[in-house]
Every structure is written in structure tokens, then in C-alpha cells.
Amino acid sequence: MASLLDSPAISGRYLFPQNRTLRRPMVVQVNDVELACYHRTLDQNRLTLVHFHGNGEAVADYVPGFADMLQDMGLNQLFIEYRAYGGSSGNAQLVAMLDDGESVLKAVGIPPEKAVVFGRSIGSLYAIELAYRQPNIAGLIIESGIADPCERFLNYAELQSSRISESQVRAEAAKYFNHERKLSEYTNPLLILHTENDGLIDLSHAQRNYQWSCSKQKRLMLFPRGNHNTIFPLNMNQYLACVKEFVDGLGR
């Protein structure tokens, strides 16, 4: 049975499919949908960074620019596209897409212990879910991430006309997006990147995710410059240095 979080009143108000496409996507079949992903392998023995982007972005925004930067770090890359985004079929739905990360990882044949999972903004929901399902991943990076997705859903939802109550939204969010529970079971390395003045997703989200994690090796990196959408361009050198240091420290 579909979750009410997948209704147009909630998913339709929070997910914003983008039509920017890749020239040569790697199309992955996941159940009845096709996801237009990007995959580049330098060396199968190296780590692969598995990337989930923000809700107003597309994989095409990261290729080739950011992908090339990851290549310079010696990383393979897998950018997972969302349903209805960037040439993917299906409908963009918050809960229905929870299975996609694990399905793509298996389809591509990347062992979890060779994956560094990265989630930006709403991508943190799917990165945390993948880390929860596959706790043996090499590492988890959360950038401008969300601690309590319910706070975000309720900010955008159109509940009155849909006859969905706030209590129903909270119950469904607790069922599918309990980041405190998920992160408490994750013990491998964790890097959290956030700006002090995000303006969209408050700094407290990063602090909560950091506190909830039982990672044996975790770091919270706060940038004094930039906001939610300028965190990378205004802190590029330091941002990339943090990612490289984290990946190099995994020793795999």
C-alpha cells in the first residue's frame, strides 16, 4: 500500500523534477521504472562515490564538473537519478524512491564496502536510507542534510484540500524517515558538511544528525561562508579538501 507521503499533496509539493538530461546516461531498470544514472569506473578495486542530489537539481548538473573532481581524488562515480528527473521514468515520490539506491547499487554490482554514499539536501534522505540498509558501506557523507524530514514536509504540504492531517504526516514520517533510529545503527565513518547560515535547512539539522550517529569516526564541518545553494562554490577548496581527507582516511 502506497504511503500518503507519496501523494501529490506532499511529494508533489516537495519534489521538483528537473528536465536536464545526460548525453549518455546509464539506464537502470528498477521494478517498473528506468533511472537515467551516471556511472564511471576508473578501477574496480577503488572506492565508488554514490551520489544523491538535491530536490531542485539533476545528475546532469554534476557531470562532468563535480564528477571530474571526484575522479581527481581517485574515486569511481555513481550518480543516482530520481524518478521523473533528468530522463528517468516514473513519478517522483518520497517513499517509493527509498528502494532505488539499494537497487541501483546491486544492479551496477558495487559491493557496499566499496561505496562511499553521499547525500546533498533531500539526497540525505536516500543516503541515510542506503547506509541503514547497507551498514557495511565504506563511509557516509551528508551535505546540507536533513535531520527531521517531517519538518520539511509540513512546511510545503497542502493538507487541507487533501484531507490529510498533520498527525498522519508525522506518523508516516516516523515510519519511513526516522533518521535518529537509522543513524544510531550506523557505526562506520561519517562526514557532515553544512554552512552556519544555511537559510533553508537550519544548522540544527546537521548537529542532530551528528549527535545521533554512532559512527566510530565522525566529523562535523561547518562553513562560515555561503548558504544552502552556495556552500560548494564559496567553499570549494576547503569542501573538496574535506571530502578528500575523509576518503583517504577510509584506507580502502
Question: What pLDDT shows up at residue 149?
Answer: 95
Question: What pLDDT shows up at residue 37?
Answer: 98
Confidence of residue 192 (pLDDT cuts 50, 70, 90): very high
232 has a pLDDT exceeding 90? yes
Question: What pLDDT shows up at residue 2?
Answer: 85
Residue 188: DSSP 8-state: S
Region 44-66 average pLDDT: 97
pTM of the model: 0.97
Region 192-202 average pLDDT: 97
Region 162-170 average pLDDT: 92
Is residue 142 classed exposed, middle or buried when 0-12, 13-18 and 19+ CB atoms within 10 A define those classes?
A: buried
Question: What pLDDT shows up at residue 160?
Answer: 82
Q: Which amino acid is at 86?
A: G
Q: How many angstroms separate the CA atoms of 3 and 93, rounded?
A: 9
20: its cell numbers: 536536464
Tell me the C-alpha to C-alpha distance, in Å, between residue 76 and each of 8, 46, 50, 139. Answer: 36, 7, 9, 14
Domains of the chain, earliest start first: 4-248 (3.40.50.1820)
**β-bridge partners, 142:** 119, 192
Closest listed residue to residue 205, CA positions, set 214, 193, 215, 216: 193
The percentage of the chain sitting over the pLDDT mark of 90, rounded to a whole number, equals 94
Average pLDDT value over all residues in the chain: 96
**β-bridge partners, 29:** 34
27 has a pLDDT exceeding 90? yes
Question: What pLDDT shows up at residue 1?
Answer: 64
The percentage of the chain sitting over the pLDDT mark of 70, rounded to a whole number, equals 99
Region 220-242 average pLDDT: 98
Region 71-91 average pLDDT: 98
The cell 575523509 sits on which residue? 246
- Helix locations, 73-188, DSSP H: 100-108, 123-133, 149-156, 166-176, 179-184
Q: Is residue 136 within 8 Å of residue 127, measured between CB atoms? A: no
The 10s digit of each residue's pLDDT in 120-152 is 999 999 999 999 999 999 999 999 999 999 999
Region 42-50 average pLDDT: 96
Find the radius of gyration of the CA atoms of the chain: 17
Q: How many angstroms separate the CA atoms of 231 and 240, rounded?
A: 11
Region 87-111 average pLDDT: 97
162 has a pLDDT exceeding 90? no
Region 64-72 average pLDDT: 98
Q: How many angstroms separate the CA atoms of 215 and 80, rounded?
A: 24
Region 192-216 average pLDDT: 97
